[in-house]
Structure 1
Amino acid sequence: MSPLEATSTSCASQPASCRHGNLNASARRWFLQKKMAESVVRALYGRGTSLTLASKKIKEVPKCVSRLTNLSVLLLNNNSISALPAELLSLQHLAELNLGNNALKEVPAVLGHLESLKKLYLFSNQITVVPPEVIGGLQNLVVLNLNHNQIQRLPPEIKSLSRLQRLSVLDNKLEEVPVELGHLTSLSEINLTSNHLSWLPQQLYQCKELTKLYVARNKLTSLPEGIGTLAKLQVLDVAGNKLSMFPVEFHLLPLKEVYCEGNRFVRCEPMASVQDAEVLSLKELVARFVLREDRNRSSLVHRMLPHYPFLTDLLANGSRCALCLGPFLTTWLECVHFIRLKDVKVRSSLTIPVRALLCSYKCFNADGHSYYGVAKR
């Protein structure tokens, strides 16, 4: 008798409804169990590297799967699995695991020991927590899909996923993004659509390989400054937020697609306004002097600054005037200019408001520029 025959059920042991051609629920379960057993045995004796148990209506993973030590791909999606057996620890060659659309309430602890995993799909479960000890053991992960769960936060230990290229946490309950996400410098795609985010960390811009960023349908009122460092960003989706304008230098990004409908962008309704010259504080005057001198590499100020780390950190928050290009420390005057995007796929208007920072009312009152002050109603 062959191994495959050994798993088969004789006709006499089949459900009566099956023998008479009436495929009721009991008969369908019998066929599914039979097919599942055949799949496992075929993989076991054929030394297979891939096993598909998707859509088999199983509630638990057969422990005999742990004997398939050569497995590199295991598909368990579309079932009713609520936990994984510890025996799966033996699958040390497993590179792809799909547990999507099951009944998991937490990320199984055994996953933290499967160090060869590169692709992990946990979408459409009931997960509320991502344990730090599990995520910290997945250092070779390239793709992580946590879509359609109930996750409220990602642990700081996510920074250990140094090879991660695609992170998707769409349709969860995230209220913040950990600053440690900035350590994932291999990330090329991030999807945080449909969460409860009200802000994004500036550290996100350390992900220099990022080409796609999806943060639609959140509660964002602004994007952090410095977005110009994402020199490879091609797709940005910020639709359905509360943005009033885009950050400085946004229009210089190599974007091919921008989705921004459903925000609260400022509108261009010009009105005359001339402001009196301001009086700068002593701190601001000194800061501007030091920032100007620091540009000159041969100056004494430039040579001495490294000896004053506190001052260096303070001046790191400085900006540059959009008109005169002079440096300043305080965001003295927030303005906006309206940019018409070219060669970019946009669902709404091609003209978008982009923030501009001016160093003084003197620059603001100058003629010949297209910057507008922002009037609040």
Structure 2
Amino acid sequence: MAKPELAVSVSTVRTLCGGATSLNLSSKKINNVPKRVSGLTKLSVLLLNNNSITGLPADLLSLRRLSELNLGNNALKKVPSVLGHLETLKKLYLFSNQITEVPPDVLGGLPNLTVLNLNHNKIQRLPAEIKSLTKLLHLSVLDNNLEEVPAEIGHLTMLSELNLTSNKLSVLPQQLYKCKDLTKLHVARNKLTSLPEGITALTKLHILDVAGNNLSMFPVEFHLLPLKELYCEGNRFVKRKPMPSVQGAEVLALKELVARFVLRTGRDRHSWVHMRLPHYPCLTTLLANASCCAICFSPFVTTWLECVHFISLKKDMKMKTSLTVPVRALLCSYKCFNTDGHYYYGVATS
């Protein structure tokens, strides 16, 4: 049986002589990348997966045409810095290594990347420089130690699929709503207690997997998403169970009263209030976080009453499952809550 080194040498020589653009060195039991590989300047695909590689040589940056690199299932403890010089890379696979961090300078040097697979590592955080990957279509960080996702992920406006399953996330960034092309979002088996309200802006989202989290309900207007598949088992959703309640007196703060007046008046673009708002940036910022009453549709800033209504996935979202899920709703007052003809329930707090 031929030794691994000899087998690699023969493969490399054949590639050199044939002028091939791809080289497959997967499952060759090698610890290092052969020096000859750096001389294969026409390579566009290099497969090094299923080996015992611990690092990459610096002279690998000579591969100026490389578009796909597979380093999956090796012994890397960090992302090799040389990758930050391979600007032509479009697909990078680093799954099943021992990587603990992703260097910011590496991501900053990969402007053409469309696929990044970091599955089955020990990564705790992604750097803000991930915003440099503006052409990224698929990002997968499944089975890591992620505790947060940077807000800069909102810069990935071409992202189609995001997989964050099996991490330690307790929250998702609000900026996720900027990823308008997202069709698949996998965040199962984390510690999420809620989803960002802006998720309803993902008008192309077809698959959502939030199974195995700590969700109590879905965001406002969740049922308007064009979902085809929803996986949500293993959460702590509120149940439709009657309970006695005590209604307190409605006493709105002066700040809230003024805010509601400005919001209502400001709807008229010809009003004095609307024309003066740009001169008060702090007020504009405050009003940007306003909500709308689910019953009377009046705007307000401070949530007065959090409610829930129960959505049939089959009837209301045209999905195949007959599951019913709770969706958050906000009301501006007990006056609205006590009107007849609606199906909103107050949420009991312990």
Fold-level similarity (TM above 0.5): yes
Would the aligned equivalents of 1:52 and 1:75 in 2 still touch at CA under 8 Å?
yes
Task: Give the whole-Å Cα distance in 1 for the aligned partners of 2:291 and 2:88.
Answer: 45
Letter in 2 for 1:127: I
Would the aligned equivalents of 1:127 and 1:149 in 2 still touch at CA under 8 Å?
yes
Residues 1-377 of structure 1 aligned to structure 2 (within 5 Å): 27=1, 30-271=2-243, 273=245, 275-342=247-314, 343-346=318-321, 350-377=323-350
RMSD: 1.1
Q: Which residue of 2 aligns with 1:4?
A: none
Letter in 1 for 2:181: E
Would the aligned equivalents of 1:275 and 1:365 in 2 still touch at CA under 8 Å?
no
TM-score, length basis structure 1: 0.90
**Percent identity for Structure 1 against Structure 2:** 74
After superposition, the C-alpha distances for 1:101-160 in whole angstroms (9 at most, x for unaligned) are 000000001000000000000000000010111111011100000000000010111111
Letter in 1 for 2:334: Y
Answer with 267-276 or 298-307: which moved more.
267-276
Task: Give the whole-Å Cα distance in 2 for the aligned partners of 1:102 and 1:272.
Answer: 59
Task: Select the structure of larger CA radius of gyration.
Answer: 1
1:344 is displaced (CA, Å) by 2.1
Task: Give the whole-Å Cα distance in 1 for the aligned partners of 2:4 and 2:248.
Answer: 80
Give the secondary-structure state (helix, strand or coil) at the position aligned to 1:239.
coil
- Structure 1 pair 54–159 and aligned structure 2 pair: CA distance change class (3 A): same
Give the secondary-structure state (helix, strand or coil) at the position aligned to 2:197.
coil
TM-score, length basis structure 2: 0.97
Give the secondary-structure state (helix, strand or coil) at the position aligned to 2:92.
strand
After superposition, the C-alpha distances for 1:154-193 in whole angstroms (9 at most, x for unaligned) are 0111111110111000000000000011111110110000
After superposition, the C-alpha distances for 1:284-316 in whole angstroms (9 at most, x for unaligned) are 111000001111111111111011111100100
After superposition, the C-alpha distances for 1:70-93 in whole angstroms (9 at most, x for unaligned) are 000000000000000111110010
Would the aligned equivalents of 2:292 and 2:299 in 1 still touch at CA under 8 Å?
yes
Letter in 2 for 1:202: Q
Aligned residue pairs, count: 347
After superposition, the C-alpha distances for 1:245-298 in whole angstroms (9 at most, x for unaligned) are 000010000000000000000001124546354011111111000001111111
1:332 is displaced (CA, Å) by 0.9
Letter in 2 for 1:82: T
Letter in 2 for 1:355: R
Would the aligned equivalents of 1:79 and 1:101 in 2 still touch at CA under 8 Å?
yes
1:345 is displaced (CA, Å) by 4.9
Letter in 1 for 2:276: M
Task: Give the whole-Å Cα distance in 2 for the aligned partners of 1:111 and 1:279.
Answer: 60
Would the aligned equivalents of 2:90 and 2:112 in 1 still touch at CA under 8 Å?
yes
Give the secondary-structure state (helix, strand or coil) at the position aligned to 1:226.
helix
Answer with 171-180 or 273-282: which moved more.
273-282
Would the aligned equivalents of 2:176 and 2:198 in 1 still touch at CA under 8 Å?
no
- Structure 1 pair 355–269 and aligned structure 2 pair: CA distance change class (3 A): same
Letter in 2 for 1:169: V
Task: Give the whole-Å Cα distance in 2 for the aligned partners of 1:335 and 1:239.
Answer: 23
Task: Give the whole-Å Cα distance in 2 for the aligned partners of 1:341 and 1:150.
Answer: 36
Would the aligned equivalents of 1:277 and 1:362 in 2 still touch at CA under 8 Å?
no
After superposition, the C-alpha distances for 1:324-377 in whole angstroms (9 at most, x for unaligned) are 00000101110000000123255xx61000000000011111111100001124
Task: Give the whole-Å Cα distance in 2 for the aligned partners of 1:167 and 1:34.
Answer: 36
Would the aligned equivalents of 1:117 and 1:140 in 2 still touch at CA under 8 Å?
yes
Task: Give the whole-Å Cα distance in 2 for the aligned partners of 1:232 and 1:248.
Answer: 17
After superposition, the C-alpha distances for 1:10-67 in whole angstroms (9 at most, x for unaligned) are xxxxxxxxxxxxxxxxx4xx34333322211111111110000000000100011011
